[in-house]
Structure 1
């Protein structure tokens, strides 16, 4: 796909933004391509974790505004960005942003939309929107206050300061800062741990954490009960108990295994 590299290895799908001449700024066609790639990753049951990164020493410098603005109404132009943001947020597998170089504007918010963020010390971040006469998009106005609190979110968004990786980590906007010579191996080890996890349980956990940021305790508890029902309907719970008893690593598959069905039978076989 033009502007996007897709690689599959051991249950991990890596999406690499590949427009290094524009520091991986995302143009109209790449937004559409990224939307299709995320939709496919969400439907492909062989994908157990997803990594989003950029080529050429940058993560993403935001939306590409180098070309003449489209004559289409801005609400229509925003739809691909909105679709990508929602798909990334709701993807049923864990997501990791691997950030080297710049991540600004929509590019930074795509990184924040991932479940975990790994950055190198050289990474730089900015909510650059107000410098362009714009306001945050790609979920930034929703994500930032929840991650750093309202006052720091306003500081970052109103002043559009550029901050480094260590400050971003101190603000809980980066999960780990890892040297550039070690970042690939670190992300490989991290995703291997995620792939080894119980896929249904991970999907339920991610959904609960995302949903419960603005729910009451009563609503959260009801959601947790529904999630546990889904978890107990898989073979993974039985496998976890067996592995604990046998003092071995569990092998999780996410297969459906409720009473009255053949344990381990996949839904594709029913």
Structure 2
């Protein structure tokens, strides 16, 4: 059975972790499948992605059965090679979603632990069920978070929060995660809310949406204020008067939904 399924409807890619009997835990095959799903969408005619997990949990972390397999191998050969640009396979599980040019919305329920937590961090927006539990779980197994979390977390929350969660490995509630900036909002049906948000995004200018995501990523990269201001102006120059923007103006004037012909 496929560990990840992807369905594209109305320019929205619905990507679902499909290993519910293991609470969508990540083993090497699951990691490969998640990365492959993201890579397959790079050139797709999509405007948003909804990332979810089938069953009671979004993703309960690394598959415990994989620990023996990983420990028996050569850690240097397994972890250190940069197989995906500046990342290894397991780091790319989270980072591939930041590399996608369109917004990614994660719908979170149940356990969002370890690998699952870091996967969720790769999304642009995280919608969590009230009962969701989130954790940096690696310390429980004598490890450190190593799936992109340390590249993503400092943009979302405070240093003391990162340290507390890393050192203790204690799960936190969805409300606590929201208070700490790790969850965007809480909803009784996070998948429905994520899908509604994706539909709203898909109705906006695809070229402007892609430019916005790229601009935000650049602004968060540590670029100087001068460089960010230039990047803003360049992005705007590339949008003004172009087909997508003119269609938005026409649609707004006519009181109708825009009809875009470009992929962004």
Q: Relative to 1, partners in 2 of residues 1:75 and 1:229: Cα closer, same or farther, differing over 3 Å?
A: farther
Match of 2:169 in 1: 160
Match of 1:66 in 2: 65
Q: Relative to 1, partners in 2 of residues 1:176 and 1:234: Cα closer, same or farther, differing over 3 Å?
A: same
TM-score, length of structure 1 as denominator length: 0.86
C-alpha distance in 2, partners of 1:255/1:167? 38
Partners of 2:128 and 2:185 within 8 A in 1? yes
* Pair 1:238-2:246 in alignment: yes
Name the SS of the counterpart of 2:201 in structure 1.
Answer: helix
Q: Relative to 1, partners in 2 of residues 1:6 and 1:255: Cα closer, same or farther, differing over 3 Å?
A: closer
Of 147, 150, 153, the residue aligned with 1:138 is 147
Match of 2:85 in 1: none
The alpha-carbon deviation at position 66 of structure 1 amounts to 1.2
Name the SS of the counterpart of 1:58 in structure 2.
Answer: coil
Match of 2:207 in 1: 200
Partners of 2:203 and 2:257 within 8 A in 1? no
CA-to-aligned-CA distance 1:93-149 (integer Å, 9 cap, x gap):
110101010001121111111011111111000001111111112221122222112
| Number of residue pairs the alignment of both structures matches | 253
Match of 1:186 in 2: 193
Match of 1:223 in 2: 231
Greater mean deviation of Cα atoms: 66-75 or 140-149: 66-75
Q: Relative to 1, partners in 2 of residues 1:142 and 1:249: Cα closer, same or farther, differing over 3 Å?
A: same
C-alpha distance in 1, partners of 2:179/2:263? 39
Gaps of 5+ in 1: 257-270
Greater mean deviation of Cα atoms: 66-75 or 233-242: 66-75
Partners of 1:102 and 1:125 within 8 A in 2? yes
Partners of 1:5 and 1:16 within 8 A in 2? yes
Name the SS of the counterpart of 1:69 in structure 2.
Answer: helix
Gaps of 5+ in 2: 80-87
